[in-house]
Amino acid sequence: MLISQVLHAGGKLAVVAREGSEAAIVRGATSSYALAMEAIAKGQSLAATIAAHGLGEAVDLPALLAAGRVTLPITHPDAAHMHLTGTGLTHLGSAAARDAMHTKLATEETLTDSMKMFRMGLEGGRPAAGAVGVQPEWFYKGNGSQAVAPGQPLTAPGFAEDGGEEPEIAGIYLIGPDGTPHRVGWALANEFSDHLTERVNYLWLAHSKLRPASFGPEILVGELPADIRGTSRVRRGGRVIWEKPFLSGEANMSHTFANLEHHHFKYDLFRGPGDLHVHMFGTATLSFADGIKTEAGDIFEIEAAPFGLPLTNPLAFAPAETGPTAVHPL
């Protein structure tokens, strides 16, 4: 099952559920967030909660997306209680890249910190059931104010050096009243980053990640396939200037999702009742790595069959900043 949110008649938010090509409004559902909270309160699955509500009017989801009426598939009523986070160095990449990485692993004294962390994941990121594996790279992107709806611009700040796509899978989580994380489902995400800044020094990773991100348009409810094969592309002036397949899912990762989830939610800070989390799980495919220099107006497009409609966002840059941010004493 896939769920999404649309602006229906009169601009009113509605939840849409679909199986295959058939999509319909979920009766009596004011938002995906409210629906998920209801499922937690009743101790039942989200799918069962949707079934209990029943489906009403059929909708043409691709047409609504083209009309700009598909919003983020879930948000929090208070943006400060929605967390955008991510983890990296989690994917094996292509066979050629893996061969190159394993060759480098032979001489530890020459390894970069990134390569050392990658090796730690290879060796300890897939623990036995019930065991805790090695922790991954982790970063914060912002709160719900940085979540950008499908079709809307991903805007790099005025001080940015670059703005590049990162095609990823995100886990969507809601924290129950007792502090237990509940997985709502999975979605495509563009973990938009500044790769030129990141490349200067690994310690600037945090600076490069404090950027908006987009996810959706739909959430996959239920099990995630182990082998996910998608496509990421960049369009400019109506033509594709870069396109490449990307792999995700546990069959293509050095960590299990359970291990990555543990190392996020082990912090009490991230188990605040009612909080919403969008946690992005990394990628091995970037246009930047192939020498593409993105420009304002470029369109990022990410698609993978299990997740329904493609995630598309244009690139924009805020006006360049001309001086330091002033702080005024009280």
Which string of DSSP letters, residue by residue, matches 11-32?
G-EEEEEEETTEEEEETT---H
Please list, in sequence order, all residues whose beta carbon lies within 8 angstroms of the beta carbon of residue 157, skipping any fewer than 6 positions away.
211, 318, 321
Percent of the chain beyond pLDDT 70? 95
Which string of DSSP letters, residue by residue, matches 116-141?
HHHHHHHHHSSPPTT--------EEE
In this prediction, residue 107 carries a pLDDT of 52
Please list, in sequence order, all residues whose beta carbon lies within 8 angstroms of the beta carbon of residue 269, skipping any fewer than 6 positions away.
none
CB distance 82 to 278 below 8 Å: yes
In this prediction, residue 93 carries a pLDDT of 65
Domain ranges of the chain: 1-71, 74-317
CB distance 147 to 86 below 8 Å: no
Instruction: Report the amino acid identity of residue 128.
Output: A
Nearest to 53, CA basis, from 28, 17, 22, 23: 28
Burial of 63 (0-12, 13-18, 19+ CB in 10 A): exposed
Q: Is the peptide bond before 217 cis (omega within 30 degrees of 0)?
A: yes
In this prediction, residue 148 carries a pLDDT of 98
3-state secondary structure string across 209-233: HCCCEEECCCEECCCCCCCEEEEEE
In this prediction, residue 99 carries a pLDDT of 37
* pLDDT lower than 70: segments of the chain: 93-110
Q: How many other CB atoms sit within 10 Å of the CB of residue 75?
A: 19
In this prediction, residue 98 carries a pLDDT of 33
* Helix residue ranges per DSSP H, the chain: 32-42, 46-53, 61-66, 95-104, 113-124, 195-200, 205-209, 257-265
CATH architecture group of domain 74-317 = Alpha-Beta Complex (3.90)
Nearest to 287, CA basis, from 246, 328, 247: 246
Phi first, then psi: give them for residue 241, nearest 5 degrees. -100, -15
In this prediction, residue 101 carries a pLDDT of 34
